């Protein structure tokens, strides 16, 4: 593994196109000051929304313009910080952006309470009469659906002002783990050492050297373990903030409060967990096959990503883009060319690892910017799959922004993971057909199972952890590092069964390695998302009439309809457990195929 470069040493062609958003940090600073100065002009609309349809339209235009400017400001600062968390100037920008965004949220908090005062019938009439309000029908209907949980203008303003300080728990955790954590180097058999960072852990775990995998896994989790109390305090604070928000808005539980925003019944969450628990033997069968193929007496967590063939293909970033584009061909030429141009010409992607780059991968942009991607590409099938995944998010954002007004420009987290996993499923289907070589087939299947492991095993397990910790907080019970670790270890032990040997302390800290838990009830949506994705990709791969058109309509819908309705339009009903069951069936097919290929 090559030495991880400093940020300044990365070839600019493999970095995100920051200058397309702001020409320089100085231009960003000027915009931050301009946004703060313009807040008063938006506040001037307060108390006047009910005067006429024109007044409301004027206010909405001003509010939306200010909001999207604040989003671009936050995105630029957050992305700059994410690619180099040791950059103190970037950290200061991210902190300032959070403050500006909080001011904007607080300043615009009068909108919904005043619209409620106007009345639903009047608002629908204004939508019909005022051309600038065309398309707001769903927004108005949804506003009155949420009426029981909206508070007065004064209370809403206070709740809006909490956005910035309530981000402190997540920011503390991120600063600690991404900027301050310095992992010891991993020693390998020939005496060399591998840099262990947030961006290189997965590459080591994907490698053939078992001692290196074990050392990396242990050293990585031991550093989290050494800071268990700080990490537990940060997460407990976030959970308590969720409980506060739930009570402030008069919901019956944090789960109900979180799902209510997207008009999703809690049964969707519980259906997922029920089907997941029922199918744990499927996972345990896979773990046992993996143990036999690796030829080890005991399978440990650090073996779950180990290669099952010594002939896994190595590929460049450019080759990965080409294979992804080939796999996405059923989506049509325009879709494919947008992906290719974004990945290779417009610099949507910040490609390679560097010192200080935060862990994981994500897609982030705002209306008027590219849908950027941060990742740490590895020259293997995992790197290709991660890129395909994030390009799914980016194309979802791109098509939403191209086809929806600002009010519907930010789709729900519930549907986000559908588009990402859909891309992966299409590309995987193409690659399995493109090369019959046994080792190539094994490499594709183990990549698929690695993806399932994250989204269909780890994420549902984290969802169970999240539900239990929130319910404990709702009951007033203490959340400590030790109670969190015990709960996490118990849940993973149940999932692994007798097939995986665990160190309870290290496995018990897995919750602390996922910043996702600071986004309330997000992790379960990975599992429902992968379920919807496989149901929809199968329609496309099977040549179901209008399957591509239906799915494209879903991508273009943004937030213009409720997420469950958008998915039904695309061809899948996630109010029922069928799609989750079907996806376990798809996974079982991969396991059967793997068992035959490995003998």
587: three-class secondary structure by DSSP: helix
Give Dmax over CA atoms of the chain in angstroms: 77
Q: Catalytic: 417? A: no
Cβ neighbors of 592 (< 8 A, separation 6 or more) are: none
Cβ-based burial of 20 (10 A; exposed 0-12, middle 13-18, buried ≥19): middle
Q: What is the pLDDT along the chain (599 residues), one digit of tens a residue?
A: 567 899 999 999 999 999 999 999 999 999 999 999 999 999 999 999 999 999 999 999 999 999 999 999 999 999 999 999 889 999 999 999 999 998 999 899 899 889 999 999 999 999 999 999 999 999 999 999 988 887 887 888 888 888 788 888 998 998 899 889 999 889 876 667 888 888 788 888 988 899 999 999 999 999 999 999 999 999 999 999 999 999 999 999 999 999 999 999 999 999 999 999 999 999 999 999 999 999 999 999 999 999 998 887 899 999 999 999 999 999 999 999 999 999 999 999 999 999 989 878 999 999 999 999 999 998 888 899 999 999 999 999 999 999 999 999 999 989 999 999 999 999 999 999 999 999 999 999 999 999 999 999 999 999 999 999 999 999 999 999 999 999 999 999 999 999 999 999 999 999 999 999 998 899 999 999 999 999 999 999 999 999 999 999 999 999 999 999 999 999 999 999 999 999 999 999 999 999 999 98
**Angle between helix 413-434 and 523-541 (nearest 10):** 40
CA 577 to chain centre: 22
Cβ-based burial of 62 (10 A; exposed 0-12, middle 13-18, buried ≥19): middle
CA 576 to chain centre: 23
**Dihedral angle, C-alpha 239, 243, 246, 250, nearest 10 °:** 180
CA distance 34 to 41: 11
CA 226 to chain centre: 27
Q: Report pLDDT for 341.
A: 98
Q: Which of 71, 390, 446, 447 is catalytic?
A: 390
Token digits for 272?
């997922």
Sorted by where each begins, the domain ranges of the chain are 7-163, 171-183+191-313+412-599
CATH of domain 7-163: 1.20.140.70
Residue 442: other Cβ atoms inside 10 A: 20
Tell me which H or E stretch contains 349: strand 349-350
CA distance 128 to 136: 9
Token digits for 22?
């702001």
Q: Report pLDDT for 1.
A: 53
Give 171-183+191-313+412-599's CATH code, choosing from 3.60.20.10, 3.40.190.10, 2.40.40.20, 1.10.1370.20. Answer: 1.10.1370.20
Token digits for 553?
């309509």
DSSP designation for 193: E
């Amino acid at each position: 593994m090559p030495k991880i470069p400093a940020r300044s040493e990365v070839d600019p062609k493999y970095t995100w196109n920051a200058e397309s958003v702001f020409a320089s940090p100085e231009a960003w600073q000027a915009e931050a000051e301009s946004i703060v100065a313009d807040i008063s002009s938006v506040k001037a609309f307060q108390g006047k929304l009910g005067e006429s349809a024109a007044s409301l339209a004027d206010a909405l235009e001003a509010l939306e313009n200010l909001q999207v400017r604040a989003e671009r400001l936050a995105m630029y600062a957050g992305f700059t910080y994410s690619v180099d968390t040791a950059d103190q100037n970037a950290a200061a920008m991210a902190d300032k952006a959070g403050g500006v965004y909080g001011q904007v949220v607080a300043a615009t908090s009068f909108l919904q309470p005043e619209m409620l005062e106007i009345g639903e019938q009047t608002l629908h009439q204004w939508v019909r009469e005022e051309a600038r309000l065309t398309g707001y029908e769903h927004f108005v209907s949804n506003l009155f659906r949420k009426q029981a949980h909206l508070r007065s203008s004064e209370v809403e303003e206070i709740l809006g002002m909490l956005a910035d300080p309530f981000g402190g728990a997540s920011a503390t955790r991120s600063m600690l783990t991404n900027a301050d954590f310095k992992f010891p180097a991993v020693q390998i058999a020939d005496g060399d050492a591998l840099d262990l960072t947030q961006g290189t852990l997965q590459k080591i775990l994907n490698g053939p050297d078992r001692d290196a995998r074990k050392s990396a896994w242990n050293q990585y989790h031991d550093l989290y373990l050494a800071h268990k109390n700080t990490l537990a305090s940060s997460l407990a604070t976030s959970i308590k903030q969720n409980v506060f928000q739930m009570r402030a808005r008069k919901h019956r539980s944090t789960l109900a409060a979180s799902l209510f925003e997207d008009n999703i019944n809690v049964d969707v969450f519980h259906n997922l967990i029920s089907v997941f628990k029922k199918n744990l033997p499927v996972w345990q069968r896979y773990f046992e096959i993996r143990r036999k193929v690796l030829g080890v007496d005991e399978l440990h967590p650090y073996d779950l990503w180990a290669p099952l063939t010594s002939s896994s293909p190595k590929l460049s970033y450019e080759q990965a883009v080409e294979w992804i584009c080939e796999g996405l061909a059923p989506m049509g030429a325009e879709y494919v060319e947008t992906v290719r141009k974004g990945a290779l010409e417009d610099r949507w992607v910040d490609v390679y690892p560097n010192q200080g780059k935060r862990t994981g991968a994500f897609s982030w942009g705002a209306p008027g910017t590219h849908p950027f991607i941060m990742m740490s590409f590895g020259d293997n099938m995992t790197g290709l799959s991660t890129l395909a995944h994030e390009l799914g998010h980016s194309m979802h954002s791109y098509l939403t922004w191209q086809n929806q007004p600002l009010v519907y420009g930010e789709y729900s987290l519930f549907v986000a993971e559908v588009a990402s996993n859909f891309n992966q499923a299409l590309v995987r289907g193409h690659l399995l057909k493109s090369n019959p070589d046994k080792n190539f087939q094994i490499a594709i299947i183990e990549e698929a199972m690695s993806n399932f492991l994250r989204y269909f095993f780890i994420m549902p397990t984290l969802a169970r952890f999240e539900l239990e910790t929130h319910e404990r907080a709702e009951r007033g019970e203490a959340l400590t590092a030790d109670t969190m670790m015990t709960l996490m270890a118990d849940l993973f032990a149940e999932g692994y069964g007798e097939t995986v040997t665990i160190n309870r302390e290290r496995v018990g800290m897995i919750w602390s390695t996922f910043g996702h838990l600071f986004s309330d009830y997000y992790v379960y949506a990975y599992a429902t998302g992968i379920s919807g994705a496989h149901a929809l990709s199968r329609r496309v791969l099977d040549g179901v009439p209008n399957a591509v058109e239906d799915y494209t309509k879903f991508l273009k819908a943004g937030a213009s309809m409720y997420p469950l309705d958008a998915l039904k339009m695309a061809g899948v009903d996630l109010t029922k457990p069928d799609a989750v069951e079907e996806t376990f069936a798809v996974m079982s097919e991969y396991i059967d195929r793997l068992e035959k290929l490995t003998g």
